[in-house]
Structure 1
Amino acid sequence: NSSNRGVNVDQAFIELGGLKVGYFYNWWDDGLSGETDILASHTTQYNAIRYTYTAGAFYAGVAVDELEGVIHGTNRDNNVGIEGIIGGAFGPAKVALLGGYDTDQEEGAVRVIATAELGPGTLGLAAAWASGQNAYYDTSEWTVAAEYAVKVTDRFKITPGGQYFWNLDSTATGGFNGDRDGWRAGLTFDYQLATNLSTKVAVNYQDFDNQQEQWTGFVRLQRAF
């Protein structure tokens, strides 16, 4: 309305060769293709500077992020995070190893994602570990996830997926404790309606120890320009 106007910027950056500077999604935003997995915590958009080196099918990169108050229990801005990634393609398979370190919390996380063309679809596997509460991943101390994206037709894809979490609880000082685990499973449906127009439907079930079971999902219409 006329009294409440604003502009939301999704990304704004300058990119020159392997150097990227500005406000953009970081590498933790690149999860599996389905909508069941939780492989990043908090926001994945930062003011950042990053450099990526590419040599054929291999790449490596480093980034420095302005975390802006995403740290647990604080509202302080200008905390610094550091990311590093290496990855490559090996025939029909792709692997990426990612790490993030939160300098304010002095904790970090490591994640690996691997995908491979297998039969009529693509198999995706992922695992992550967190040393404690940090800006990148701290939903649990350990987690593993898997999915299989089946291309039913040129327009229609179905992706069943599942994930297990070990040690969901953390202490006031930032470490993990207890033995509360959990799991989630779901289906993602992708359909190409027309050129640059698609729809995505996701349905997920989640069961964490000592927590009410949850059904979640969404329907999304996507337009590419």
Structure 2
Amino acid sequence: MKNVFHQVLLGSAAALVAVSGARAADAIVAVEPEPVDYVRVCDVYGKGFYYIPGTETCLSVGGYVRFQVNVAGDPAVNLEGDDYQLASRVRARLNFDAREETELGTLRAFARLQATNTSGANNGVAMDQAYIQLGGLLMGYRDSMWSSNIGGLEDGLLTDTDLVVGDFNTNQVSYTFATGGFSASIGLEDDGTGDVVPDIHGKIVYSGAFGGAYLSAVYDETFNQEDLATAFGSNFNFVTLSGGFPTRLQDGSNDAFALKGGVLLKDLIAADSQLKIEGHYAFDPTVYSSISGLATVNTFAANNPNILNPTPGSLPIFLEWAAGAGYAQKFGKLGLALSGQYGETFDTQFLAVSPLGTVVPVDLSGDYYAVVGNVGYQITNNFATLAEVSYKNVDFGGPIGDTDQFNGFLRFQRNF
């Protein structure tokens, strides 16, 4: 009897196993997901790059958020009639940098978007830069080759207000050949006039452990008195210079040629120091020889104006030649910088008020100089503050005299 019971029990168990197996075969069993590495570090191009999932393209997203208080001195006048202006400014910037390797070299796309809010007024979102690179070929919108960072050496002195001559953005196409620390570039830039002939640029750079050196040349085919009015318009009415304002540049012609060069020396005087010397000479007036002069709180700290209005809202200064030097020194988290620039303007015709009260034309050239100093401190990782003061003076002598201005700002910036 016991054997029969055991046989029935075993048979029942076998039947249950068979039935269960049949039902299991009919059921949908979820497959265990394979681990996917969604974020893979791409260290080919330095820190901050990650592979876009499913591609060999590396992407970096960065930028900053900045809070800044700007002060512009006399002749800027506020709404209460005081001879200064003060405004707070908030800016957010995003940089998108995508790169990958091809049989023709590195393929890159770079785009920069930023939005600015000045004293509560939203100034909108702007495309500050956008360009494509394939190997040495570049095409798109960015700072002119005249003032851009090529070969690791950027034009301008070592303060934040870096006194760059001809600093603005434009559409362009260029090619750079680089080997070792040497690079040579040639480029064509849209001058915004609609003319078929573009501005032509050339630049040679050498960079090494000591620092670097560069030489730039530009041919501006279409700059003349009419272009001056188009470029600056009513900006000439920004300030009255002792009863007069500039009406035309006497040396203007239908084309212009300019040269610029500089040398950067690292750790020459002390560790963590930089010394830079640079200058330019323009054979004729051109936007590439202009520098922003007297300004308001909304314009003296403006970023990357365009070729049609390189110094929006400011009284522009056209320099026939200028030379400057800057020195920057770091002491751990503390940084100090000082720069200065001196030059002469092109001959300019003014409409001046004579002692008899009549308006008479006066042809003058002016002396120009500027001094900038700042102090910066790294509060913590990716968060720093910077305070800067600048002074500019342009003196035409005669009935026009000189005009000067102090500017300054206090900035807090969080990078990411």
Q: Same fold (TM over 0.5)?
A: yes
- Provide structure 1 residue ranges, at least 5 long, that are not aligned to the other structure: 69-75
Structure 1 letter corresponding to 2:322? T
Which of 95, 101, 115 is the matching residue for 2:264? 115
Which of 394, 397, 403 is the matching residue for 1:212? 403
* In the alignment, structure 1 residue 98 sits paired with structure 2 residue 216: yes
Q: 1:93·1:116 contact (CA, 8 Å) conserved in 2?
A: yes
* In the alignment, structure 1 residue 25 sits paired with structure 2 residue 143: yes
Identity of matched residues, %: 29
CA 1:107–1:48 in structure 2 vs 1: closer, same or farther (change >3 Å)?
same
Tell me the secondary structure at the aligned position of residue 31 of structure 1: coil
1:167 is displaced (CA, Å) by: 3.1
* In the alignment, structure 1 residue 166 sits paired with structure 2 residue 371: no
Counterpart of 2:376 in structure 1 is 190
Counterpart of 2:280 in structure 1 is 128
Structure 2 letter corresponding to 1:96? Y
Q: 1:114·1:125 contact (CA, 8 Å) conserved in 2?
A: yes
Q: 1:36·1:161 contact (CA, 8 Å) conserved in 2?
A: no
Tell me the secondary structure at the aligned position of residue 159 of structure 1: strand
> Residues 34-60 of structure 1: CA distance to partner in whole angstroms, max 9, x if unpaired?
13542323x521111111111101111
Q: 1:186·1:204 contact (CA, 8 Å) conserved in 2?
A: yes
- Provide structure 2 residue ranges, at least 5 long, that are not aligned to the other structure: 1-121, 149-154, 224-254, 291-317, 351-362, 396-400
Counterpart of 1:141 in structure 2 is 320
CA 1:222–1:100 in structure 2 vs 1: closer, same or farther (change >3 Å)?
farther
Structure 1 letter corresponding to 2:265? A
Structure 2 letter corresponding to 1:158? L
Q: 2:157·2:339 contact (CA, 8 Å) conserved in 1?
A: no
Map residues 40-55 of structure 1 onto 2, 5 A cutoff: 40-41=165-166, 44-55=168-179
**Stretches of 4+ aligned residues off by more than 4 angstroms:** none
Counterpart of 2:202 in structure 1 is 84
Q: Which stretch of the first structure deviates more once superposed, 57-66 or 104-113?
A: 104-113
Equivalent pairs counted in the alignment come to 209
Q: Which has the higher helix share?
A: 2
Structure 2: distance between partners of 1:45 and 1:104: 17
Which of 32, 39, 59 is the matching residue for 2:164? 39
> Residues 196-217 of structure 1: CA distance to partner in whole angstroms, max 9, x if unpaired?
3333322011222123221012
Map residues 53-64 of structure 1 onto 2, 5 A cutoff: 53-64=177-188
Structure 1: distance between partners of 2:161 and 2:124: 32
> Residues 96-138 of structure 1: CA distance to partner in whole angstroms, max 9, x if unpaired?
1111111112102211111102122111101111112213123
1:25 is displaced (CA, Å) by: 1.6
Q: 2:142·2:171 contact (CA, 8 Å) conserved in 1?
A: yes
Q: TM-score, structure 1 length as denominator?
A: 0.82
1:19 is displaced (CA, Å) by: 0.8
Q: 2:142·2:169 contact (CA, 8 Å) conserved in 1?
A: yes
Structure 1 letter corresponding to 2:158? S
Highest CA radius of gyration, 1 or 2?
A: 2
Q: 1:162·1:185 contact (CA, 8 Å) conserved in 2?
A: yes
RMSD: 2.4
Q: Which stretch of the first structure deviates more once superposed, 198-207 or 12-21?
A: 198-207
1:91 is displaced (CA, Å) by: 4.1
Q: Which has the higher strand share?
A: 1
Structure 2 letter corresponding to 1:101? Y
Q: 2:158·2:339 contact (CA, 8 Å) conserved in 1?
A: no
Which of 181, 186, 191 is the matching residue for 1:67? 191
CA 1:49–1:221 in structure 2 vs 1: closer, same or farther (change >3 Å)?
farther
Q: 1:57·1:89 contact (CA, 8 Å) conserved in 2?
A: yes
